[in-house]
Structure 1
Amino acid sequence: MRMQGKIALVTGAGQGIGRAVAVRLAQEGAKLIINDLHDDSRSEQTLSDVRAAGSDGCIVAGDISVTESSRQLVAEGIQKMGRIDVLVNNAGVEHNAGFLDVTEADYDRVLDINLKGAFFITQAFVSHLRDTQRGGRIVNISSVHEELPFPHFTSYCASKGGMKMMMRNLAIELAPLGITVNNVAPGAVGTSINDRLLHNATELNALLANIPLKRLGNPLDVANAVLFLASDEADYVTGSTLYVDGGLLWNYSEQ
């Protein structure tokens, strides 16, 4: 039980990768603070899955794109669970549009959730660790697009590139506090964010031709990487990105 006695906050845990991460940590003994935008059937399903995995937790709804909301949800999580040991910054969105068609509202939504939201909820979490004089783990769900260009998704790539440098800076700055900071960077994963791709055989086959392992990832592939970085096994790992992409990053070409 690699996470026995730990309490983890996972943002965007109502579905997809976030739910898989929450359940995988629960299987290894962690208790979960499940964050999503709303306390609804999706969040309740994640909590049910966490309990089925033999653990427990709570739901704390909140919009991480709003800084004060991030601070409040961290405070509420601490109130309900007593403390937080691990933060998984999973919540994220993307917007498909040509550069000349991107509106300010489109840009703000992507950056406010993916980068600003991760920044300020991390700040609230680190303040909690400092005040309680404990170390901790921060794992960001980034993307191969922190490194790999993705035309028509420039705001998304900018947010993940920013997350990469945020991680590297915080890994150095927070190391004296006993806090490690790392990214997990998925490639193409079969979740709802890729629904359009999954229903377009031509595009899907072209993508698979770029993946040396010849398959899409699944949420558990990502969750297993998060588990490692959140556990004591990764005590000497900080400032790194762990790519979970089937080899896509080093074999990709635009068609």
Structure 2
Amino acid sequence: MLSSVKGSWCLILGASSGMGRATALAMAREGANIFGVHFSTASQQDEVDALIEELRATGVQVVFHNRNAASKQTRAELVPLVAEATGGAGVRVLLHSLAFGSLLPFIPQDDQADVISQRQMEMTADVMGHSLVYWTRDLYVAGLLPRGAKVFALTSRGDEHAMPSYGAVSAAKAVLGSHVRQLAVELAPAGIAVNALRAGMTLTPAMQRIPNSAGLAQRAREGNPHGRTTTPEDVAETILMLSASDLSWMTGNTIAVDGGEGLV
């Protein structure tokens, strides 16, 4: 059954840039209130303030917290604030858009002597993979994921393909996909859908930190049937569309949002 996101709440982990930012704007323009968690430096605060102002200009309620979303303490402190902001009604949409991990290689290279450490491997998997489980569970236990809620995780073709210096992130994305499937099964009786979106090559700040990102983007652009790369707005529009239904029958999937990039 189609419905509307107007008046509902959207919780975005990683709300200040990239796909999180685009989703916040898309949801707010359709009348959804935004609870954003971001991890920004002082030099980025002006951009965050401008985003908050733009969101509020749509007439919705906006709550932002500059905290490490992968921290257990952050979850413990913010989940009650989600309950307070939503009046106990909970969130219709949870978007996991955390993109922080190590890009060091596993094996020493001629031009790169440093290799990834065990701590960095574990941190990458925890931030980009395991934290989805912890946030989803804490919200559900607190009664803040009602029937009809949608949980979205963001993955990439790196969950199946190897790229230079992408090993730890690739592993984390594979972990994320596994968690999506398991959460989908366990939350199905509650009528909550959990899906991953596999975006095509998207020029986000996180993507631009990948070595040779410009070359990767150029190849993706040339190979994409649409003749361009994916934009954060493409992903945001997909999330908005999938959120406008109370049904949970479409769950446990990894959905390509790439304009056909993965087909060629």
TM-score by length of 1: 0.87
Aligned equivalent of 1:67? 72
- CA drift of 1:201 comes to 5.6
Select the structure with the greater relative contact order (CA < 8 A; seq sep ≥ 6): 2
Q: Deviations 1:54-89 (Å, cap 9, x if unpaired)?
A: 322111332122223223222222223323232111
- Corresponding residue to 2:262 among 245, 249, 254: 249
1:13–1:46 CA contact under 8 A, matched in 2? no
In 2, Cα distance between the equivalents of 1:111 and 1:38? 20
The corresponding residue for 2:140 is 126
Q: Deviations over 1:127-186 (max 9, x none)?
A: 1237x8644211112222223333421111111111111111111111111111111111
Sequence identity, in percent? 24
CA RMSD of the aligned region, Å? 2.5
The total of aligned residue pairs comes to: 250
Supply the distance in 2 between the matched residues of 1:95 and 1:136 (Cα, whole angstroms). Answer: 32
Residue 65 of structure 2 aligns to which amino acid in structure 1? V
Deviates more, 1:77-86 or 1:186-195: 77-86
* The one of 57, 62, 73 aligned to 1:57: 62
Residues of 2 paired with 1:199 and 1:159: CA distance? 20
Q: Is the 8 A contact 1:129 1:135 kept in 2?
A: no
Listed as ranges, the matches of 1:1-20 within 5 Å are 2-20=4-22
Q: Is the 8 A contact 1:33 1:57 kept in 2?
A: yes
Deviates more, 1:225-234 or 1:215-224: 225-234
In 1, the alpha carbon distance for the partners of 2:78 and 2:37 equals: 8
Matched residue, 2:131: 117
- Which of 206, 210, 214 matches 2:227? 214
Other structure's SS at 1:60 match: strand
TM-score by length of 2: 0.84
Cα gap change, 1:73 to 1:107, in 2 (>3 Å): same
Deviations 1:84-118 (A, max 9, x none): 23211112224322212112232133112111222
Distance 1:47 1:201 in 2: 30
Q: Using the alignment, how far apart are the partners of 1:122 and 1:45 within structure 2?
A: 29
Q: 1:200 to 1:16 in 2, by over 3 A?
A: closer
Q: Is residue 2:149 matched to residue 1:136?
A: yes
Larger helix fraction of residues: 1
User: Which AA in structure 2 matches 1:145?
Assistant: G
Q: Secondary structure at the match of 2:38?
A: coil
Residue 178 of structure 2 is aligned with which of 157, 161, 165?
Answer: 165
Equivalent pair of 1:144/1:245 in contact (CA under 8 Å): no
